Structure 1
């Protein structure tokens, strides 16, 4: 389970995330929606403490919020990140990139040496799961955008994560490929009982795959509900000009609430 208690984040004097509290159940596929600057990336980075919190506490996978270096390392080892721009080393092979997901399990000195046969087999199994076993020895820069994103997903798989965070993972892909990649992330989450939090701009994909949709605007949660509750009127409310006064949602009902400008 993921739990945020009164979490807020500032960048200088700008408020990126206003105080919020919520729970995300284990195995739940949660989609974050909102315009650019709404706070989606900041929200995601709070879940593995890549952002410093200005207030509040985060509890993930049994960690109680009392963080030290060792606990942070374990949290990030057990949290798989999927990025919009893939974050791959393009001159290396698909398998070499995938095996980067195992580095968190080793000391710096041990990581200088080849990984064990067991871990290499795990890397191959991860590539097979995403349909790229035949590309294991191909350089990443020879793969398509969709294939590169699959390599990024395989890198997450090899971590054997308890949580998956994905920041606009299909934003640079064509609609058909985007659907295939999101379907893959969704099936991995469901089959493994892995909690997934995914930020998107595509409302249709959110409705298709999400168990829960959280809408953000100006660093505030303005919608939190099931996909069928996200009507067109609420989508318009979510994406309207940030300088206007959006509304917030509680149990499917909209309430007027002013919101300051997003950073």
Structure 2
């Protein structure tokens, strides 16, 4: 579906992402795993050019290389984004925030007017799928953090995307809410055949919800395989490479995490 060819991101003498080649497959739920600062967010944001690569190319099936504005706009229109801090407008209702996912289909002038009834139905269906139809007219600043993140997922769904990118979507949520949010996201992606790339640092969640894990450390891909291939040696390479992130290393034996995730 999407091919990254030798993509790197460099700031002066520092590499946020080293030469990376990956192929993202249709319908696959891919987790980018690693410690803070490993390059997960940089890689994820390169996929829709929110972060401009210093080198390399990105090729999207059906569109071609992301090298001009027209192709990039078409790619972003079919790519939903879910952010760590939700990126919602607090004074607006859940439905108003969700409908912002439709703005990419309209000119700036058209977006100043109310959306069609059909598009409002799309927004309501998206809220229903994340279990928040009853909160459609509630201001988002009156919702819990988990509910706000589900509004963010619903907003991405209103784009009717082929791809969803989620940048640390559960980093600010408690464990139970994190599982609920990821369960909803994964189920919707599977039902609709949507590809997903989700950055996480929680090993147990990566094992439980991913089809594929891409592990990064210091801007370099260190691991790319199915979850069952992840082992203690890989974890050491991903997390021990940066001692300041020792708090993110699992506190229970890897075998125990693996059993809990099955």
Q: Same fold (TM over 0.5)?
A: yes
User: How far 1:132 moved relative to its partner?
Assistant: 0.3
**Matched residue, 1:87:** 87
- Aligned 1:65-80 pairs, distance under 5 A: 65=65, 67-80=67-80
Matches within 5 A, 1:98-117: 98-117=98-117
Query: 1:162 maps to what in 2?
Result: 162
Higher helix share: 2
- Measured on the aligned residues, the alpha-carbon RMSD in Å equals 1.3
Q: Does 1:236 align with 2:241?
A: no
CA distance in 1, matches of 2:66, 2:36: 32
Q: Matched residue pairs, number?
A: 244
- For residue 148 of structure 2, what is the aligned residue in structure 1? 148
**Deviation readout 1:221-254 (Å, 9 max, x if unpaired):** 01111101111332122101338xxxxxxxxxxx
C-alpha deviation, 1:24, in angstroms: 1.4
State the secondary structure of the residue aligned to 1:59.
strand
Structure 1 gaps, min length 5:
244-263
Q: TM-score, normalized by length of structure 1? A: 0.90
Match runs of 1:215-254 below 5 Å? 215-242=215-242
**Post-superposition CA distance 1:30-50 (Å, at most 9, x none):** 000111111001100110011
How far residue 74 of structure 1 moved from its aligned partner, in angstroms, is: 1.2
1:43 is aligned to 2:36: no
**3-state SS, counterpart of residue 154 of structure 1:** helix
Runs of 4+ residues over 6 Å off in structure 1: none
Query: C-alpha distance in 2, partners of 1:2/1:73?
Result: 15
Question: What is the CA–CA distance in structure 1 between the aligned matches of 2:170 and 2:25, rounded to whole Å?
Answer: 24
Contact conserved, 1:16 with 1:219, CA < 8 A, in 2? yes
Three-state SS of the structure 2 residue aligned to 1:100 is helix
TM-score where L is the length of structure 2: 0.90
